[in-house]
Amino acid sequence: MSETPVTANDIITDAVQKLNVYAPGETLSSADANRGFQALLDLIDQWTDDSIYLYQLLPIELNLENGVSVYTITPGAGIAIPSRVALGSDQVTIVEGPTSSYANSVSSIEWNLLYSSYLTLPPATPLAMWYETSTPANVARFSPIPNANMVATFNGWYSLPTFIDLSTDYVLTPGEQLALTSNLAIFLNSYFGSTQVTQELLAQAQQSKTTLTYTNRLSRALSKRNVEPSAPGNVSKP
């Protein structure tokens, strides 16, 4: 569950390097950085008009209790409700005192086929979590049932309307950085008067944008097409 933060400046730098305007390791001039930043904002606005949205990953921390496997996350104070959570192996960090372990973040199908039966086993450190996005509350289920008080940490997807400046760090969702850098390079080509927009770059920009479009559709499907909640929420046992 280790992701690398990225800034707007990183994305702009990668984009101009794709155009061979700057060499690797070369620092952007202030004028080029500012022009690149405005182009990045324009690109994001254009994508928003086309219903292509950006998300950032932010950690969610749940306090698990001995003998409790189901937790309800409702609007209130404490935890911001995500659009969805990151799925996959070892996406959930479980901390019990000085000991850390990892659990899988799974879909409803995986949960019902593989992990729901574990609830009949003796309580233990959870091996899997199914996080269900629904209205008015989200539900997180853990299997096996926790055998002690522990803390579960995992990444939620939250709306990223724009980059606020050149230097703020964001952890983007998979595929977003490539889509932004390759499409921004094409966006900036006329500004730099470059001739380096190759067929490979055009194909990379198109494919990465298409992939991002499909990812957006999946995110909306998983959140049951609700508008992504951004208000804080609290955690309560049902």
Q: Each residue of 118-143: pLDDT tens digit? A: 999 999 999 999 999 887 789 999 99
User: Residues 203-231: pLDDT tens digits?
Assistant: 999 999 999 998 887 766 665 534 333 33
Q: Across all residues in the chain, what is the average pLDDT? A: 89
Lowest mean pLDDT among 15-24, 89-98, 159-168: 15-24
Is the pLDDT at 105 greater than 60, yes or no?
Answer: yes
How many contiguous H segments (helices) and E segments (strands) does the chain have? 5, 9
User: Residue 230: its pLDDT value, please?
Assistant: 36
User: Residue 228: its pLDDT value, please?
Assistant: 39
d(C-alpha 149, C-alpha 48), whole Å: 42
Is the pLDDT at 235 greater than 70, yes or no?
Answer: no
d(C-alpha 106, C-alpha 129), whole Å: 6
User: Residue 135: its pLDDT value, please?
Assistant: 74
The domain limits of the chain are: 8-54+161-197, 58-158+232-236
- The average pLDDT across 178-204 equals 90
Is the pLDDT at 9 greater than 90, yes or no?
Answer: yes
